[in-house]
């Protein structure tokens, strides 16, 4: 259990840099996530081949991995949309609502009793977010994007909790990243109609930050957090991610 918590906190620490890096990368949120998922999938595949890890999974789990990858892709689009339309601080504070959504969604999806303590903690987090933002309407779009990102972020650890019993962590991460990239490739042209981009190709600086984002904040962080789910509940994991604003804002 101690190892799982150390892995989780390491993942949260790395995730704390995602908002800052998203601000440094001069691409709109759609293209940013598209490149992030592509680079992450390629880097992870190369690492798996070098380590001679299996990339095969049973067909019955393939569609589930792709579906979870789609949730991750949408979560990242909304998260970086919040960063772009508001700022890093607002995106990270909204992200803290993830634990609140998990308190209700985890019992529903995993078919267990609702824990009143989890619900109370979740409601306290929502109250805190409301007190921070209820008077500030200038970042309305960014806040809405941030809350949508938090809702989606609550879902994929719950579904991953089921899959990690049957699929190796690296293979699971690879197919989720690949599935998310594939879905984003299909919907990005339509999304760009809503949020037009003035820049489609990364600059040299963008490539550097994208590589950092892909290698450390995605490949490494995602595998650490998924590994932790073997011992830790999705609610505990998502509640721990409330520390992300501490790392990201600091």
| pLDDT tens for each residue of 158-205 | 999 889 989 999 999 999 999 999 999 999 988 888 777 778 899 999
With 70 as the cut, is the pLDDT of residue 245 above it? no
Tell me the percentage of the chain whose pLDDT exceeds 70: 95
Mean of all residue pLDDT scores within the chain: 87
User: Beta-carbon neighbour count of residue 68 at 10 Å?
Assistant: 23
Structure-token match 């970086």, residue found: 80
Structure tokens at 110: 């995993």
What pLDDT does 133 receive? 67
Instruction: Give the number of domains in the chain.
Output: 1
DSSP assignment string, 17-72: THHHHHHHS-S-HHHHHHHHHHHHHHHHHHHHHHTT------HHHHHHHHHHHHHH
Tell me the percentage of the chain whose pLDDT exceeds 90: 42
What pLDDT does 85 receive? 86
What pLDDT does 135 receive? 53
Question: In this predicted model, what pLDDT tens digit does every residue of 123-166 receive, in sequence order?
Answer: 887 777 777 666 566 788 888 899 899 999 999 999 998 899 89
pTM, 2 dp: 0.89
Domain that holds residue 180: 2-249
What pLDDT does 250 receive? 52
Average pLDDT over residues 101-118: 84
What is the Cα–Cα distance from 35 to 15, expressed in whole angstroms? Answer: 17
What pLDDT does 108 receive? 86
Question: In this predicted model, what pLDDT tens digit does every residue of 194-237 receive, in sequence order?
Answer: 777 778 899 999 999 999 999 999 999 999 998 888 888 888 88
């Amino acid at each position: 259990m101690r190892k799982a918590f150390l892995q989780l906190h390491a993942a949260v620490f790395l995730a704390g840099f995602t908002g800052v890096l998203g601000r440094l990368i001069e691409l709109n949120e759609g293209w940013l996530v598209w490149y992030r998922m592509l680079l992450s999938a390629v880097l992870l595949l190369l690492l798996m081949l070098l380590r001679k890890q299996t990339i095969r999974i049973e067909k019955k789990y393939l569609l589930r991995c792709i579906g979870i990858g789609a949730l991750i892709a949408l979560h990242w689009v909304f998260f970086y949309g919040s960063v772009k339309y508001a700022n890093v601080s607002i995106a990270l504070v909204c992200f803290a609502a993830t634990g609140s959504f998990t308190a209700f969604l985890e019992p529903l999806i995993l078919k267990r009793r609702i824990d009143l303590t989890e619900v109370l903690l979740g409601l306290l987090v929502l109250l805190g977010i409301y007190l921070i933002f209820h008077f500030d309407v200038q970042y309305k779009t960014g806040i809405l994007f941030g809350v949508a990102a938090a809702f989606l972020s609550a879902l994929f650890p719950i579904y991953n909790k089921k899959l990690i019993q049957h699929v190796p962590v690296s293979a699971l991460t690879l197919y989720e990243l690949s599935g998310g990239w594939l879905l984003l490739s299909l919907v990005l042209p339509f999304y760009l109609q809503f949020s037009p981009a003035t820049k489609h190709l990364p600059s040299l600086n963008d490539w550097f930050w994208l590589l950092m984002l892909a290698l450390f904040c995605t490949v490494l962080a995602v595998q650490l957090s998924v590994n932790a789910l073997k011992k830790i509940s999705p609610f505990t994991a998502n509640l721990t991610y409330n520390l992300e604003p501490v790392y990201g804002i600091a």
